[in-house]
Amino acid sequence: MAEFDVDLFVIGGGSGGVRAARIAAGYGAKVMVAEEYRMGGTCVIRGCVPKKLFVIGSHVHDEIEDAAGFGWSIGQVSFDWATLVANKDKEIARLEGAYTSNVEKSGARIAKTRAVLEDAHTIRLATGEKVTAKYILIATGGAPNHGPIVPGIEHVISSNEAFHLKELPKRIVIQGGGYIALEFAGIFAGFGSDVTVIYRGDNILRGFDEDVRKHVRAEMEKRGITIITGCTVAKIDKHGRDFTTHLSSGSSIASDQVMFAIGRHPNVANLGLETAGVAINPANGGIQVDGWSKTSVDNIYAVGDVTHRTNLTPVAIREGHAFADTVFGKRPVEVDHATIPTAVFSQPEVGTVGLTEEEARAQFSHVDIYKTDFRPIKATMSGRDTRVLMKLVVDGASDRVLGCHIVGDGAAEITQAVAIAVKMKATKADFDATIALHPTASEELVTMRTPTARHVRQAAE
């Protein structure tokens, strides 16, 4: 008789958990996955996939507007929010089915219920069933965090509810200055809502390159989005179907929807972590793990947003795959969390990989900056007032490209390719030796020859 019911029990059916389950099962492991909500997790069900679909839909208004400059005469058009939501729901249901099918085809069993740890090897399901496992993987992800409780917080929606609104808000107030807040600001503005963004810091996109932050804000404000920084929401009053949002600055804003997007917290509550001896990282509130995703308990691992390391879907997938390779494939793989490309599907779009100028200047004595901003070719005919930003951060001593930052149409697609070069430690000379692909915006990356700034850090005497 086997010592355990399964070789691997995965708590969470999101991107990281599903990848780990499938790869482990492929190595011959007996695997079980518990998911209490819907297979696919945050990204598929209520995150990047529906968000990107909404972003694409919200761009259509611009395309119609721009068409006139290219000779198109488009008549009366209309938009129906309910149709968008219904079609999005169909696509998400299809993807959920695909996730479920792929796990089952791998030979793993799915339990559509909550799972809680009873000890280091025992899991209790909400159905009453108990399962013992040689290894346990926690991949429960994260959830929106509304931050400090303010009066009227019960009236606030998060990104979760934004995907299921019955009506498109005519006026919406969004608190937050990160990628989720800005993406939804662009989405709602694109569909015709009057959007106001409130952020406590001095400028949006904290942690991004300063030039990116300034450029995105300027472009969003050109699109009619109001951005108020240096204050927070102090109170929300409800009057029938409308709201009044009172700010810490003393002013107030009327709207018919209020959304908070001020961060996410790891889903660590009520999982039995204390009972099993799994430690929480005091620095970030996520499950504490080492470089191999192992927790404080030898046979229990954690991947993805629940660790609060780098909260990106491809990172969770890579961590889940590496875990399965290491534990069940006997091929030790440690995930490299350096030089991870990322995108903000704001309007304009942001793509970035590697170090910001500020980070590079703190780490390297000689830093060269190559930067350009220009009117894209489409705007010369459409008449739209918009500019693209491209920036390379280079180690002045070794000539290695340390970072690339792009704001404009297709920024994410361009950055994915550039990320390969940055990961391979390409030099500025390598970029210069690459023939430009004309006419494109991205050709600027290989035609910028003169530094716009050179920084030399003086050695301390």
Q: Could you tell me if 139 and 323 are in contact, meaning their C-beta atoms sit under 8 angstroms apart?
A: no
Categorize the per-residue pLDDT at 461 as very low, low, confident or very high, splitting at 50, 70 and 90.
Answer: very low
Categorize the per-residue pLDDT at 285 as very low, low, confident or very high, splitting at 50, 70 and 90.
Answer: very high
CATH number of 348-456: 3.30.390.30
Strand order in the sheet with 242-247: 233-239, 242-247, 252-255
Range 249-255 average pLDDT: 96
Dist CA 421 CA 12 (whole Å): 34
CATH 3.30.2010.10 is right for the domain spanning 153-262: no
Mean pLDDT, all residues of the chain: 95
Q: Are strands 122-125 and 31-34 parallel, antiparallel or unpaired?
A: unpaired
Whether the per-residue pLDDT at 460 is higher than 90: the answer is no
Tokens of 410: 């297709």
The pTM score is: 0.94
Range 241-248 average pLDDT: 95
Query: Is residue 438 annotated as a catalytic residue, yes or no?
Result: yes
Dist CA 432 CA 178 (whole Å): 33
Categorize the per-residue pLDDT at 459 as very low, low, confident or very high, splitting at 50, 70 and 90.
Answer: low
Percent of the chain with pLDDT over 90: 94
- Kindly report which listed range (106-110, 144-148, 269-273, 427-431) carries the lowest average pLDDT score: 144-148
Dist CA 367 CA 401 (whole Å): 10
- The catalytically annotated residue of 155, 164, 438, 455 is 438
pLDDT of 147 reads 80
Are 6-144+265-327 and 153-262 the same fold in CATH? yes
Annotated domain spans of the chain: 6-144+265-327, 153-262, 348-456
Which residues face 228 on adjacent strands?
Answer: 198
Give the class (CATH, top level) of 6-144+265-327: alpha beta
Q: Could you tell me if 347 and 220 are in contact, meaning their C-beta atoms sit under 8 angstroms apart?
A: yes
Nearest-CA neighbor of 262 among 288, 233, 282?
Answer: 233
* Matching residue, tokens 């409780």: 149
